[in-house]
Amino acid sequence: MPVEETETEVILTHPKDASTKVSILKYGATITSWKNQGDEKLWLSKAAKLDGSKPVRGGVPLVFPCFGKCKDESNPAYKLPQHGFARNSTWEFLGQTTEDPLTVQFGLGPEQVDEELYKLWNDGLYDFTLILSITLGDNYLKTNIEVENTGDKDFKFNWLFHTYFNVPDITDIIVNNLTDAKCYDQLIGETYEEKAPMISFTEEFDRIYQGIDTQKTFQMIELGKVVMNVQRENLPDTVVWNPWIKKSEGMADFEPKKGYMNMLCIEPGHVAEFKNLKSGEKWSGAQILSTGGEIKVQTNI
Ligand code: BG6
């Protein structure tokens, strides 16, 4: 069966290849596993809570309507917890929409969000519908989000796919095509232009790359071989994060403690600025992850 639904999750199996699968937890509509021809592409902490008590540490958590902790008191998202409420709400499974490629949808509206939590966003006066479409292809996984403002008030939001990749050894990984991008380094609180031709990882890393042409593909290259391509639609920003030793020690749900060596977050989103959405309007953005291919250097787009 290409689509199996249990009480807590939905599992997609590629119709032509049973070793290509994706598992989605209804809690957070969090993708917890993507096996491509038997190979796990996503990192999931061994201590991740999968019972709805806490956002999942790993996979692809969804960030909405604010990225991080909103520091602007005048922003209606100010009282919300870090990364908002989409990752800690149980989404409704809407079913399969296409057979080839295999696509399913999940939906979230105010009625699925914990009441107390929802009230923290402008006293619960906004109305919205989120539709997440997940497509499992031969060698790709696409996640598309549509945000609709179904209320009578305009609102502003951030969106981000907080994707945790599984890597054999982070020190063997480089990521390309971020050269010349404007970047806010969250660790030092400074904005500068990325000058490195490729970024590599030997310590804690937490940068928000901003306003990057969506024709650019980020490639994760392991010892000279492309292991992942990250493409975006309508998502201008990308956060790159690795907590390294100290930060991961401080996270109770991060296991094994040496797991920072086996993960890298590349998180396409719309986070450098809030997106304004007028009453009745829709907005969408997507992340497309694919395996293999040649190294492609895209400098001057
Ligand atoms: C990243 C942020 O996107 O998420 C980091 O850039 C943050 O600053 C990380 O630490 C994890 O956040 P959380 O809330 O899942 O611990």
Closest residue CA from atom 9 of ligand 1: 241
Decide whether any atom of ligand 1 lies within 6 Å of the 172 Cβ. Answer: no
Q: What's the pLDDT tens digit per position in 3-18? A: 999 999 999 999 999 9
**105 Cα to the center of ligand 1, angstroms:** 26
Per annotation, catalytic residue among 40, 115, 249, 267: 267
**147 Cα to the center of ligand 1, angstroms:** 22
Q: Identify the pLDDT of residue 211.
A: 98
Cα 169 to the center of its chain, rounded Å = 21
Q: What is the DSSP letter of 84?
A: B
Compute the half-sphere exposure of residue 230: CA atoms within 13 Å on the CB side of its CA. 28
- Catalytic residue status for 267: yes
Q: Which of 45, 66, 80, 82 to mutate to test the pocket of ligand 1 (most atoms within 8 A of CB)?
A: 82
**161 Cα to the center of ligand 1, angstroms:** 12
Decide whether any atom of ligand 1 lies within 6 Å of the 83 Cβ. Answer: yes
Q: What's the pLDDT tens digit per position in 129-174? A: 999 999 999 999 999 999 999 999 999 999 999 999 999 999 999 9
Write a three-state SS string for 166-182.
ECCCHHHEEEECCCCCE
Residue stretches of the chain with pLDDT short of 50: none
Decide whether any atom of ligand 1 lies within 6 Å of the 82 Cβ. Answer: yes
CB of 196 closer than 8 Å to CB of 97: no
- Catalytic residue status for 162: yes
Q: Identify the pLDDT of residue 299.
A: 82
Q: Identify the pLDDT of residue 124.
A: 95
Closest residue CA from atom 1 of ligand 1: 241
CB of 214 closer than 8 Å to CB of 270: no
Q: Identify the pLDDT of residue 272.
A: 98
> With a cut of 0.90, is the ipTM above it?
yes
Q: How many residues does the chain have?
A: 301
**68 Cα to the center of ligand 1, angstroms:** 7
